[in-house]
Structure 1
């Protein structure tokens, strides 16, 4: 999605005639549905400077200009794009605009600088690294860029920043990144013009902006598929913005903790799809390569089992077992037995360990005790059982008990749900988890559909799964899962009589997510949390319904075989209102988690017809999606248009 597109001459005219802000505002309202003029006015200075840059007679008038291009599968936007031809090849120049006036170098970490943002000095990605990482992501996701051999040329323009002698912005520490994407500052307008003219000597005859905006989006990499290459030292995922900042900080702290023998605890918060697991595995790989005894820990066994399955045959089973551990493995660990423990999905940690929940004292405490540097990735809105105790406050409490240094951070860059922060906000509002500004689905660039028939939703998931085995059915845990039938392919656990619909819970345990034959089985919260797919079809069971316009939860509709709410009846006798509040939060968090497993889309069927209608109304659409996808080779945008 692009907010503004024009030729060079049209762009300069809009700036000169003071029309650009109004047109940007109108485009934002049309395509995004929300913004403020104040936010857009804040760009005015930067765009005026770019208008000055573009007023060079040798930059062709029919070169294309675009503002605010959304990078596919992320929530990030490119500030300014110029497209054209150098007389031989097509090029797109990416300009990252900054209003900074001062910078401090950080030589202890890669590609980071200190600058003032929001009246506070912060560590951020170097502008050259940021521009390069955005270009690399576009190339990674866009097939037209690759097939049409469109060259992307990144750079950064700090129009308020004046260089000085031995300037930190261009220190040799950043040379690798400066080579990839040069940085231009105040007084270097001609150098930036020369950079653009090097690649754009002729106009945009091949409509490069259109090709990039409408190019077929390559399937997103999944962590489970990329793990083997990562462990072999190949860079599979590009860290951007605050991801890069926290990754470098964690890497630095982990190495320092061993050198100075000081216990440190880091807590990184982040919502669905913000790259917590990607960062965790990247750190695991690089810290092992640095010679540190490092473990990846999760409460939920599903991601660990999938990773182990993917690594089978590449490294010995004992090595795999030594890399990936359950959160209950540290009840007997000694103080600082390990160099680094990386805890993914830390919100799922329990108090007690063991099969009967009778071992140890507290998993958070045990993990901190066992390691010199303990890193917790957490999203408290994904706590989905009564036993889940992981919280930022509890981690800080035990860190203080061990006199550990505490470092915190928050990830906001969105990579799942097509990078749509708006979808996450809309979902929270619709599920009545929290009130947000996203009251309707207007302008959200994510494929969500509501089906009136579960057969048709399953058929669509099966069709999409033929592309790359990355589409799955999920369901709320409202149907029993008898132990005796868990390997019986003929037994159908989930039954919806009004549609004569039947489907089994997943039969292949925790590798269901990658098993080629499991598309016609349904996963639950315990087998899906921590994993990601391209598309998910979510059956919302009778534990959630609509009454008098309110989304109501009912824990008594949960299956007895589900351990998520074990002990809730006892709690209800002691404190009915508190039990209802806790169960309500768990049920809403469960569906929020299931509905954010899809990178490209989420399909919904509700057993309560009123809730189904409510979702459709909130989508501002009365369409019922009764047709199948028009073609496996069509992109999501085309799918949407066909319905």
Structure 2
């Protein structure tokens, strides 16, 4: 891969050949995924050229990162010249540099990555984090608040996590790597840089360079950039680096496998185990060997590819099996760059949070928006909650269709009755038809067990009958604790008692009350949910509560006010806010309290939907007939989150009376 600049007869400088040419979309498999690559000197001559920025945007898009917005382009124009001025002043013009370097799956992009070598042949990687900040407020050791009020990661911790990726994902046969990092705040003062460094005492080897540092003499500046002993890499060394197929290290595999399995001795049982064995065997015949390109006629299914669908209801063990498969693929087929993709931002956030101590794990969970590019890099893909993917023109999500036709082995987990928004969903039959049209094999599996709700399939069957069939009284089968509460006050009291007893407990409700965003410096959350109930004696009471917060909120004193909505179901304080289907789906907690709002009522021996009672902008404009199946699916999700206990209250008196014929009223002390 040549990176030399050339000059034409008119004296104009052409771009290095691995940058996209004007009007041409490059083959994304032909080069490293990034916005630009070349020597520091080559790119330094181009960074202020608008045509160069346009070509970088084209390569950024072709690399699967999406379309860079104007704020991204502004940051390039503002920060790249400052960085390259410093690099050339430091005498580093011959080092190789990658801008917006993308890690596998595209879940991370490094602002800049410098590549050089040591005299002993080891490659040196210097990860550079660029910031335009002038000032920021340090909240704690890992978070800062920018001047615009946005809370973000401490830049030293951020670049340390990027550096950690290369450590945790370096395969055994890769060249030796000397990993380094630096933060460049080219508009900040020395005082701000010193404060940031002091707030990250565990990373003394990661310097924070500010405007004054970038004006230092050549040798001193090279040292500040961690490049004082770095030589230019030879062409063969550059090629060896660019050919590395990053895969998780053994230590990371062990950790992620344990965390994702839920417990060290996690055991799959029943149809979970049967499905695992069948998928494991299919992977053995489908995934090509490390040195065999996908599509080669190797005598197995690797030449065609295979799609496996796994259908199951709430608590059937889909996600547990999905992450166990990911762990297996990582251990046994690491060369296939396995990935776990879910359109549920809440589920993905919990997986990332569970593995936050191992930054390399992040690459295993790329966002659903990058599923198409993930399929270009990963040969083994696990897709969970596939029914949440948005359809286009009445057809399955194009990103999903692309993954199903490109990945060597794609395992799709879905529950067709967990579609909760219009224009989303996919069926097993649709996937089977696509597989047949693409010449791929399709295998359909079903999970029928119940591992939630105390393992009570009787309870999940009761919920199915309540919502979709003929409701029957709950008789307490299999010991599952279901009860009805007369008002939300007793519902909340039960949650508080369960929390005080050490249980995980949450309240969820239909999205029937407006939601307002809390201010970042708030001391309380908006009490948007207001429900008035009347006791048998005629006494009225008003219950008020706050929805979960969209982002983690802290008081001006630094105390946690509310967790981020995506972590509401598991993080401390979540029991003090009310969640909805978007923050509960895919998760579980021991004690579940459910408020059935006025959007779903029981009339004339059937469920009736009232979309005008919804505050969800995507649902409130539907007709009652369109809204009904979605409303039933929403409450099915909410009613099946509790592993030990579920308590229910309906805000509609007639509906609540109907529920009293099916569920015994519980004493206030047990609500």
Q: TM-score, normalised by structure 2?
A: 0.53
Structure 2 contact 453–459 (Cα < 8 Å) conserved: yes
Closer/same/farther in 2, CA of residues 449 and 404 from structure 1, 3 Å limit: same
Structure 1 contact 430–618 (Cα < 8 Å) conserved: no
2:511 match: secondary structure = coil
Report matched runs for 1:564-603 at 5 Å: 564-565=618-619, 568-569=621-622, 579-603=623-647
Q: Which residue of 2 aligns with 1:300?
A: 344
Structure 1 contact 476–539 (Cα < 8 Å) conserved: yes
Structure 1 contact 333–370 (Cα < 8 Å) conserved: no
1:553 to 609, 614, 619: 609
Q: Which residue of 1 aligns with 2:496?
A: 462
Closer/same/farther in 2, CA of residues 332 and 277 from structure 1, 3 Å limit: closer
Structure 2 contact 503–591 (Cα < 8 Å) conserved: no
Residue 391 of structure 2 corresponds to residue 351 of structure 1:
yes
Closer/same/farther in 2, CA of residues 526 and 276 from structure 1, 3 Å limit: same
Closer/same/farther in 2, CA of residues 340 and 580 from structure 1, 3 Å limit: same
Residue 282 of structure 2 corresponds to residue 243 of structure 1:
no
1:519 match: secondary structure = helix
Distance in 2 (alpha carbons) for counterparts of 1:334 and 1:464:
43
Q: Which residue of 1 aligns with 2:591?
A: 535
Distance in 2 (alpha carbons) for counterparts of 1:530 and 1:604:
20
* CA displacement at 1:242 relative to structure 2: 1.3
Structure 1 contact 448–602 (Cα < 8 Å) conserved: yes
1:329 to 357, 366, 370: 370
Distance in 1 (alpha carbons) for counterparts of 2:396 and 2:308:
23
Distance in 2 (alpha carbons) for counterparts of 1:448 and 1:494:
24
Q: Deviation string for 1:406-450 (max 9, x for gaps)?
A: 00111111111111111122112222x1247x5543635311111
Closer/same/farther in 2, CA of residues 465 and 387 from structure 1, 3 Å limit: farther
Q: Deviation string for 1:468-509 (max 9, x for gaps)?
A: 351111111111113466985331121113431111111222
Structure 1 contact 227–307 (Cα < 8 Å) conserved: no
Q: Deviation string for 1:530-566 (max 9, x for gaps)?
A: 001111101111101122333222111100xx25427
2:402 match: secondary structure = helix
Report matched runs for 1:234-633 at 5 Å: 235-259=264-288, 260=300, 261=302, 262-290=304-332, 291=334, 292-313=336-357, 315-316=358-359, 319-332=360-373, 337-351=377-391, 362-431=398-467, 433-435=468-470, 438=472, 440-441=474-475, 443=477, 445-483=479-517, 488=522, 489-498=524-533, 499-507=541-549, 508-559=564-615, 562-565=616-619, 568-569=621-622, 579-619=623-663, 621=664, 623-628=665-670
Q: Which residue of 1 aligns with 2:61?
A: none
CA RMSD of aligned residues (A): 2.7
* CA displacement at 1:330 relative to structure 2: 2.5
Q: Deviation string for 1:294-349 (max 9, x for gaps)?
A: 11111111011012112112x11xx23311123221244565x3121111111111
Closer/same/farther in 2, CA of residues 243 and 624 from structure 1, 3 Å limit: closer
* CA displacement at 1:249 relative to structure 2: 0.9
Distance in 2 (alpha carbons) for counterparts of 1:471 and 1:334:
38
Distance in 2 (alpha carbons) for counterparts of 1:366 and 1:375:
14
2:449 match: secondary structure = coil
2:369 match: secondary structure = coil
* CA displacement at 1:281 relative to structure 2: 0.5
Report matched runs for 1:127-142 at 5 Å: none
Q: Deviation string for 1:369-414 (max 9, x for gaps)?
A: 3411111111111111103222112222222232110001111111
Structure 1: which 5+ residue stretches go unaligned?
Answer: 1-225, 570-578, 630-643
Structure 2 contact 585–637 (Cα < 8 Å) conserved: yes
Q: TM-score, normalised by structure 1?
A: 0.56
Structure 1 contact 228–311 (Cα < 8 Å) conserved: no
Greater Cα shift, 465-474 or 265-274: 465-474
Closer/same/farther in 2, CA of residues 268 and 606 from structure 1, 3 Å limit: same
Closer/same/farther in 2, CA of residues 349 and 490 from structure 1, 3 Å limit: closer
1:599 match: secondary structure = strand
Structure 2 contact 510–581 (Cα < 8 Å) conserved: yes
* CA displacement at 1:350 relative to structure 2: 1.3
Distance in 2 (alpha carbons) for counterparts of 1:360 and 1:382:
16
Tell me how many residue pairs correspond in the alignment.
380
Distance in 2 (alpha carbons) for counterparts of 1:230 and 1:442:
33
2:351 match: secondary structure = helix
Q: Deviation string for 1:45-101 (max 9, x for gaps)?
A: xxxxxxxxxxxxxxxxxxxxxxxxxxxxxxxxxxxxxxxxxxxxxxxxxxxxxxxxx
Distance in 1 (alpha carbons) for counterparts of 2:581 and 2:569:
12
Structure 1 contact 494–505 (Cα < 8 Å) conserved: yes
Structure 2 contact 307–404 (Cα < 8 Å) conserved: yes
Distance in 1 (alpha carbons) for counterparts of 2:627 and 2:520:
26
1:497 match: secondary structure = strand
